[in-house]
Amino acid sequence: MNNDFDHAAERRNGFLFGIAAYAFWGFLPIYFKQLPEVSPIDVVAHRVLWSIPLLMALLAGTGRLPGLVAALKDRRLVRLLALTALLIAINWLLYIYAIVNGHILAGSLGYYLNPLMNVVLGRFILKERMSRLQWFAVGLAAIGVMALAIGALDQLWISLGLCVSFATYGLLRKMAPVDSPVGLTIETLLLLPFAIGWLALGLAAGKPSFGATPHASWLLLAAGFVSTTPLLLFTAAARKLPYSTLGMLQFIAPTLQFLIGVWYGEPFTKAHAIAFSAIWIAVALYVTAFLRTPRLPQAPE
C-alpha cells in the first residue's frame, strides 16, 4: 500500500514539476525580446555564467555538495553530461536566435514537435509501448513538417533543430544516473570555461559585457534564474515520469509561445496554418490516447 502511495505521489509531483517548467518556458520569449541588442551567443554565455552561483547555493543549501564531488569523479557520467551540456547549449542558442530574429512561430513549432519526438524515442530507445492512435499522431505531425518544408523551408531548420536537440537532451538526462540539480550543475560547469572565454573576448574587443543599457544589464544578470529554474523543474519531472508521458505536458510551452508570436505580429502563412493544424490535431490525438490509458505506465527500471 505504501509503495502504491509513493508511486502516486511521485507521479503527481512529476506532473506539477512538468507543468511549472513548460509554463515558465512558454513565457520566455517576452523576456528575450527585451534583449534585441545582445547577440544570442552573449545571452547564452550569461545564462551559463549566472547560473553557477544559484546552482552552487542550491547544492550547498540542500546538502548535495558531496554528491557533486562524487559525480565529478565518475568519468563515464561526466562524458554523458558533457554531451547533454552541448545539446542544451545548442538548444538555447537556437531558441534565442529564433526569438530575437522574429521566428517565435518557428520555435513554437519545434516544441510542438517535441511531444511526438518523445513518443518515438520512448518507443525505440526506452522500449515504452505505443498505441495505434499515438502512431497515427506521429504520422500526422510528419505531414505538418512536410507542409512547412514546402512552404517555409527557411524556418524549418529552426523547428527541427530545437525539436531534436531538446528531445535528445531530455532522453539522455533521463538515462543519466544523477540527481537533477547535481547533473545540471555539472553541465553548467562544463560550459563555464567557454562562456567566460567568449565574454572575455568580447570585452577585449570593446563590446559592453553587460549590455548597452542598465535595463539590458539587469536582464542579463537575471539570466541564471531564468535558465536554471525551468531546467531543474524539467529534469525533476523527467526522472519521475515515463518519457513519453512528458509529451502530454509539453504542448503548454509552444501554445504560449505561439500566442506570443502572433501577439508580436509575426506573419502566419498558409504553410504555418497547415503545419500547426496538423500538429495541433496530432497533439490532441496523443493526449486522447494518453487519457484512455487506465493508469500511468511505470518508467523502466
| Interval 91-105: pLDDT, tens | 999 999 999 999 998
* 178 belongs to a structural domain: yes
* 281 belongs to a structural domain: yes
* 92 belongs to a structural domain: yes
* 301 belongs to a structural domain: no
* 76 belongs to a structural domain: yes
Measured CA to CA, the distance from residue 42 to residue 212 in angstroms comes to: 12
Measured CA to CA, the distance from residue 109 to residue 149 in angstroms comes to: 12
How many domains does one find in the chain? 1
* pLDDT value of residue 299: 36
Is the separation of the CB atoms in 224 and 50 below 8 Å?
A: yes
| Interval 207-233: pLDDT, tens | 766 766 788 888 998 988 998 888 888
Least confident of 6-15, 201-210, 260-269, 280-289: 6-15
Measured CA to CA, the distance from residue 262 to residue 266 in angstroms comes to: 6
**How many degrees, rounded to 5, is the angle at CA 144 between CA 142 and CA 147?**
115
> Burial letters for 250-286: b for 16+ Cβ neighbours within 10 Å, e otherwise?
bbbbbbbbbebbeeeebeeeebbebbbebbbbbbebb
| Non-local CB neighbours of 135 within 8 Å, separated by 6+ positions | none
* 235 belongs to a structural domain: yes
* Domain ranges, residue 244: 2-292
* pLDDT value of residue 301: 33
* 297 belongs to a structural domain: no
Cell of 282: 496530432
* 244 belongs to a structural domain: yes
| Interval 173-211: pLDDT, tens | 888 999 888 999 999 999 999 999 999 998 888 876 676
Measured CA to CA, the distance from residue 75 to residue 240 in angstroms comes to: 25
